[in-house]
Structure 1
Amino acid sequence: MQLLLDTLSFLWLIRDDPRLGPRGRRLLQDADLVLLSAASLWQLAQQNAMGHPDALTASEALHWAEASGLQLLPIHTTHLLQLEQLPPHHPPADRLLLAQAITTPLTLVSPKHSLRGHGCWVVDPRL
């Protein structure tokens, strides 16, 4: 199975947060490939620039991703074109993650139930 972590799931993983449940941890351990999107780095850079107190810098996140054995998924033109097929009510980074999961295809790991039903599998890591 090939997984794409959303930003929150990534943060739970690297911080060993208990909200990443046993099923989520097992899913990550058993996966063939676990990816972090460049969209998550962009989201963290935005949060950091706006003074979010808990935000990692993009370079810190990249370091943690590499140290955790995650691969970086760049944003491709096909991902951007898929955005036109998605509803506009999701935050921009979430829309990019959905577009990447749909076009690649990947299973998206996210606790956000609002991301379900858009053409890709979404797994809640809290279980």
Structure 2
Amino acid sequence: MMRLLLDTHIYLWSVSNDPKMPKKFRRDIEDATHVYVSTASIWELSIKSARGRLDPNGERAIDELEQKPFIVLPVQFKHARAVRDMPDLHRDPFDRLLVAQARTEVLRFLTVDSELSEYFDAAVPA
């Protein structure tokens, strides 16, 4: 049973069929039993949109999430609290929250950001 959490850019590439999406990730998404997109990703995209830094694919990704075959993963207290116990490997608060969600919910995190993969190599706090 494969359960995935998509990083924000992977979600965008998925809904826009962007050629930057690794073929392996496309297969993983198709083969997964559950594919999650965090409300933190929509929050991040909404901020970029408000600042005029989002293309039409990004705008569509915000508006159409609930119509896509993804499960919306809300940010919960346990996710926000888990960020506190993470090593300081990455500065982006959205990325840190997504990693905390993936670790807390035991989801495979799809990202091309090599810095984020270090979180999964680090010991998970007890």
Normalising by structure 2, we get a TM-score of: 0.85
Q: CA deviation at 1:66?
A: 2.8
After superposition, the C-alpha distances for 1:40-90 in whole angstroms (9 at most, x for unaligned) are 011001101111042634xx4354333330010000000011010121632
The total of aligned residue pairs comes to 118
Say which structure is richer in helix.
2
| Contact 1:14-1:64 at 8 Å conserved across structures | no
- Matched with 1:43 is 44
- One-letter code of the match for 2:61? A
| Contact 2:90-2:115 at 8 Å conserved across structures | no
* Aligned residues: CA RMSD: 1.7
Normalising by structure 1, we get a TM-score of: 0.84
Question: CA, structure 1 residues 51+117, in 2 after alignment: closer, same or farther (shift >3 Å)?
Answer: same
Greater CA drift, 110-119 or 91-100: 110-119
- Matched with 1:94 is 95
1:79 is aligned to 2:99: no
Counterparts of 1:48 and 1:63 in 2: how far apart (Å)? 11
Greater CA drift, 8-17 or 82-91: 82-91
Unaligned runs of 5+ in 1: 121-127
Unaligned runs of 5+ in 2: 122-126
